[in-house]
Amino acid sequence: MSNDTRRTARPTLSENITLFVSSLQNCQTLKTKLLHSVLTSPAFVRAGYYCKIWNTFHSSSIHSFDPSIQ
């Protein structure tokens, strides 16, 4: 019993690493969910569509002016 309380008070290095990795994975899952909800929102989809058009136009104009970029 006393051994258990000491162990919970001071986790071993491997326990700390496991805890750290699992918290990183949780954070990654949360970020992925958040990113997905942002990316699928209509306003962002619309903005991405305009951005894609702009990038296409912009890259084609660069290619026509600078022959070194192929």
Q: CA-CA distance, 21 to 29, in Å (whole number)?
A: 12
- The amino acid that residue 40 corresponds to is T
Cα separations (Å) of 59 from 22, 50, 67, 70? 42, 14, 12, 11
Q: Are 62 and 69 in contact (CB under 8 A)?
A: yes
Cα separations (Å) of 18 from 12, 26, 51, 53? 10, 12, 41, 45
pTM of the model: 0.37
pLDDT in tens, 12-68: 888 988 988 888 888 888 888 888 888 788 888 888 888 888 888 767 655 555 555
pLDDT in tens, 14-26: 898 898 888 888 8
